[in-house]
């Protein structure tokens, strides 16, 4: 049997499918939740609540599911979550509908060619995506001690598998990923702050050394999928934002 998990904007859901793709009737569970909203356009989720809801869905279906041979997981796109040095969440999940970074969009448009950005990343300069959110967060008076930025999917991976990594699919929705080159986009990383090169290939390593970027080499745990991308890391001088 295959366990399918979907962590959406308004609920987490679990259902079970057979090897032929047919859905198992009656073996499903939904855990609803609602985001917080603020008068200035903020839309946030509590990451602990999302974890709790997802775990509740798994617990509800497993006794009725039979032997689970595979698990498929999808989560909402564009959500931004800060992690501390111990990989614990220290911010809410800033959702795709959060518009507080609209001013940062205007700033990015004054510095970048949006057509070129869209051609490389597949994303426009918009408050839904990470670049505007990261620039906006960097201007806030109170900054949490963020070491790395990721999403709710990375938190689930950390909690359940002990490794913080994201898929190419999730990375492609950040606005920081070069979809043709299948790598983090260097110009966009520079636009939002000081980049960190993680497991760089030869060309990127040479660029990182020449420009004085921090370089990290992370190993992949045995059995992990091939195309895993580490979380974007905040810089050391300003821990509250990518610089």
Could you tell me the two tokens for 92?
């809410």
Given a contact cutoff of 8 angstroms between Cβ atoms, the answer to whether 65 and 27 are in contact is: yes
For residue 6, pLDDT over 80 is answered with: yes
- The bridge status of strand 81-83 relative to strand 148-150 is antiparallel
What's residue 236's pLDDT?
Answer: 34
Range with the poorest average pLDDT among 60-64, 134-138, 204-208: 204-208
pLDDT greater than 60 at residue 114:
yes
pLDDT tens-place string over residues 147-178: 888 899 889 888 887 777 788 888 899 999 99
Residues 6+ apart with CB under 8 A from 15: 3, 4, 23, 24, 27, 28, 61
Q: How far apart are CA 220 and CA 222, in angstroms?
A: 6
Q: Which residues pair with 72 in a beta bridge?
A: 4
Question: What percent of the chain has pLDDT above 70?
Answer: 80
- The helix/strand/coil state of 53 is helix
Cα distance between residue 46 and residue 35, in whole Å: 8
Token pair listed for 196: 């960190």
Does residue 106 register a pLDDT over 60?
yes
pLDDT of residue 214: 61
Pairing, β 148-150 against β 232-233 = antiparallel
> Are 47 and 151 in contact, with CB atoms under 8 Å apart?
no
Q: With a cut of 60, say whether residue 224 has pLDDT above it.
A: no
């Amino acid at each position: 049997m295959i366990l399918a998990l979907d962590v959406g904007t308004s609920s987490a859901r679990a259902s079970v499918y057979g090897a032929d793709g047919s859905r198992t009737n009656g073996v499903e569970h939904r855990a609803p939740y609602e985001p917080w909203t603020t008068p200035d356009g903020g839309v946030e989720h509590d990451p602990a609540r999302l974890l709790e809801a997802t775990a509740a869905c798994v617990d509800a279906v497993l006794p009725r599911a039979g032997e689970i041979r595979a698990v498929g997981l999808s989560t909402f796109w564009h959500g931004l979550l800060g992690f501390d040095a111990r990989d614990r969440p220290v911010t809410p999940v800033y959702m795709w509908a959060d518009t507080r970074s609209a001013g940062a969009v205007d700033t990015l448009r004054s510095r970048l060619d949006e057509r070129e950005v869209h051609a490389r990343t597949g994303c426009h300069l918009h408050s839904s995506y990470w670049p505007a959110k990261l620039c906006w967060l960097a201007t806030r008076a109170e900054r949490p001690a963020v070491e790395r930025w990721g999403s709710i999917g990375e938190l689930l991976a950390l909690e359940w598998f002990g490794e913080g990594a994201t898929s190419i699919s999730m990375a492609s929705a950040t606005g920081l990923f070069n979809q043709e080159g299948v790598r983090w986009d260097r110009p966009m990383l520079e636009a939002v702050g000081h980049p960190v090169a993680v497991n760089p290939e030869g060309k990127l390593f040479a660029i990182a050394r020449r420009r004085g970027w921090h370089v990290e080499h992370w190993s992949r745990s045995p059995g992990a999928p091939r195309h895993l991308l580490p979380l974007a890391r905040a810089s050391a001088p300003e821990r509250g934002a990518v610089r």
